[in-house]
Structure 1
Amino acid sequence: MDPRSEVLLRQTELFTGELLLAGLPADDLLGRLPLARGWSWHAGEQATLETRFPGRVEFAVERPAGSFAAAVLFLPKSRELSDYLLASLASAVAGGMLYLVGEKRAGVESTARRLSAFGQPRKLDSARHCQLWQVQVNEAPLAPRLHDLARRYPLDTTEGSLQVVSLPGVFSHGSLDVGSALLAEHLDGLPSGHLLDFGCGAGVMGALLKRRYPQSRVSLLDVDAFALESSRLTLQENGLEAEIIAGDGIAAAPFGLSAIVSNPPFHQGVKTDYSTSEALLAEAALHLEPRGEMRLVANSFLRYQPLIEAHLGPCQVLAEARGFRIYRASRR
């Protein structure tokens, strides 16, 4: 059981009515709270919960429809995302209770101070290195419009200007990160066919690929619903068509790919996590056609080259700059 769920269950008497759990972990919490429903934006966790509790968890960027006596937010990493989620939940439980639970090191106490916009917050519990806060929503906000919170920025390319749209919670929200900028400079010479932007974020690479290789089929894959919606908006903004896939890791990718392009993630929440990237390197060959190529950017300190060569084939460093490397390898 996730420690945040354990803290909630120390106060089970508070959660007897219709309850919305936002950002809940993939544990047994729904089994312990039979009237609760879940709202998840993590494709892997949603899939796990859907298997165990069919019909009780929605994968979405907007609050599920319905009436709730109370709502709980499991603190996300992004401040912009937590602000959107708190406002969305508070608008749904006017006069009712809004709870915030999270790890101390993730900043739950500082986030709890922002509950004062809705009423008088109070700390209910502190255990398992987590805190649980409560506020009665006496000042309910209007439901926020997610797309109004989007940030747009232009990206100059050899094919013309590209408009990028990012939403709260998406990696490098509102600007192009250094690694992706370097990767964008090294997309020439990819084999034609089916191209995948793995860990697509705001859809920068996927949009660039479709612009540069218009005859190729392009897919964009990410685990996060906000990233997928950002990618959809980026494609729409630029008049591009591509397939968007919700999935937890490379196992969700199509087969028979001619190329995989990625700025793979290695952080999850406040913890460093290399599992998604390592799985990508280990399993990319299963999804690439013969002589299919993987091209990715990674921090220079990450020892990816031996892993790539062990699982895929000879690996070339195309470029190294600003603390990043561009790797290129083809399936044997």
Structure 2
Amino acid sequence: MDPRSEVLLRQADLFQGRVLLAGLPADDLLGTLPEAQGWCWHAGDQQALAARFGERSHFGTEAPQADFDAAVIFLPKSRELANYLLNALASRLAGKNLYLVGEKRGGIEGAAKQLHALGKPRKLDSARHCQLWQVTVESAPVGVPLASLAQRYELALADGPMTVISLPGVFSHGRLDRGTALLLEHLDGLPGGQVLDFGCGAGVVGASLKRRYPQSQLTLLDVDAFAAASSRMTLEANGLEAEVITGDGIDAAPLHLDAIVSNPPFHTGVHTNYQASENLLRKAAKHLRKGGELRIVANSFLRYQPLIEEHLGVCAIRAEGQGFRIYRAKRG
């Protein structure tokens, strides 16, 4: 059981009604709160929750439309996403209770200060390195549409300017990260055909690929519903079309690909987690055609080259700089 869920269950009598659990982990919490409903935007967690609890877990960037008596927000890593969740739920909870639970290392104490705008918050519990806060919503805000929170910026690329649109919670929200910037400089010479942008985020790499290789059949894949929505917005803003899907890692990707391009993730919430990236490197060969290419950017300190060579074939360092490396390998 996730420690945040354990803290909630220490006060289980508060959550026996129609409670919405926003950003809940994929544990047994829904099983112990029979009237509760989940709202999830992580495809892996949603897959696990749906397998056990069916339609009791809602997936997407918008809260479910069903009425609820109270809501719990599991504090996300992103402050912008936390602000969106607080607004989206508090706007529907006038006179009702809103709860915030999170890890101390995740900034729960600072985030709880935002509850003052809604009413008089109080700390209900502190255990398992987590805290649980509650506020009765006395001043319900006006709901703000998610699209209005999108950040838009322009990239000056070699083949012309590109518009990027990102939503709260998406990796490198509102700016171009150094690893992706390096990767954008080294997208030449890729095989045509079926191409995957793995961990697409706001769609920067995917949009660049589609513009550079317009005849390619491009798929953008991310585990996060907000990232997928951002990628669709970026593609539309640049007049491009591609398939955007959500799924839990490389297992959700199409087969028979000609190329996989990625700035792979290595964080889950506030925790470092290399599982998605390492699974990509171990299983890329299963998703590539013979002669298909894997091209990724990664921090220089990560020992990805031996892992790529073990599972795919000879791996070359195509470029490096700013603490990052571009790795390239082909399936033999």
Task: Return the TM-score normalized by structure 2.
Answer: 0.99
For residues 236 and 48 of structure 1, the distance between their equivalents in structure 2, rounded to whole angstroms, comes to: 31
For residues 158 and 169 of structure 2, the distance between their equivalents in structure 1, rounded to whole angstroms, comes to: 29
1:156 aligns with 2:156: yes
For residues 4 and 195 of structure 2, the distance between their equivalents in structure 1, rounded to whole angstroms, comes to: 39
User: Following superposition of structure 1 onto structure 2, how do residues 173-188 of structure 1 map, counting pairs within 5 Å?
Assistant: 173-188=173-188
User: Following superposition of structure 1 onto structure 2, how do residues 51-130 of structure 1 map, counting pairs within 5 Å?
Assistant: 51-130=51-130
Deviations 1:105-156 (A, max 9, x none): 1111110010001000000001111110000000001112111011111112
Q: Percent identity?
A: 67
Q: Could you say which residue in structure 2 is the equivalent of 1:26?
A: 26
What SS is found at the alignment partner of 1:119? coil
Q: Could you say which residue in structure 2 is the equivalent of 1:324?
A: 324
Q: Could you say which residue in structure 2 is the equivalent of 1:251?
A: 251
For residues 167 and 55 of structure 1, the distance between their equivalents in structure 2, rounded to whole angstroms, comes to: 26
What SS is found at the alignment partner of 1:55? helix
Q: Could you say which residue in structure 1 is the equivalent of 2:266?
A: 266
User: Following superposition of structure 1 onto structure 2, how do residues 128-277 of structure 1 map, counting pairs within 5 Å?
Assistant: 128-277=128-277
| Post-superposition offset of 1:159 | 2.6
| Post-superposition offset of 1:271 | 1.3
For residues 143 and 39 of structure 2, the distance between their equivalents in structure 1, rounded to whole angstroms, comes to: 16
What SS is found at the alignment partner of 2:292? strand
Q: Could you say which residue in structure 2 is the equivalent of 1:47?
A: 47
For residues 316 and 143 of structure 2, the distance between their equivalents in structure 1, rounded to whole angstroms, comes to: 50
Please provide the CA RMSD for this pair.
Answer: 0.7
Partner AA of 2:24 in structure 1: L
What SS is found at the alignment partner of 2:175? coil
Task: Return the TM-score normalized by structure 1.
Answer: 0.99
> Which runs of 5 or more structure 2 residues have no equivalent in the other structure?
none
Partner AA of 1:22 in structure 2: A
What SS is found at the alignment partner of 1:67? coil
Deviations 1:198-243 (A, max 9, x none): 0000000110010000001000000001100000100111111100
Partner AA of 2:311 in structure 1: H
Deviations 1:63-121 (A, max 9, x none): 11021110000000000100110111111111100000011111111100100010000
The alignment covers a number of residue pairs equal to 332
> Which runs of 5 or more structure 1 residues have no equivalent in the other structure?
none
Q: Could you say which residue in structure 2 is the equivalent of 1:284?
A: 284
For residues 2 and 16 of structure 1, the distance between their equivalents in structure 2, rounded to whole angstroms, comes to: 19
| Post-superposition offset of 1:158 | 2.9
| Post-superposition offset of 1:245 | 1.1
| Post-superposition offset of 1:16 | 2.1
For residues 230 and 12 of structure 2, the distance between their equivalents in structure 1, rounded to whole angstroms, comes to: 36
User: Following superposition of structure 1 onto structure 2, how do residues 285-324 of structure 1 map, counting pairs within 5 Å?
Assistant: 285-324=285-324
What SS is found at the alignment partner of 1:200? coil
**Post-superposition, which runs of at least 4 consecutive aligned residues in structure 1 deviate over 3 A?**
none
Q: Could you say which residue in structure 1 is the equivalent of 2:11?
A: 11
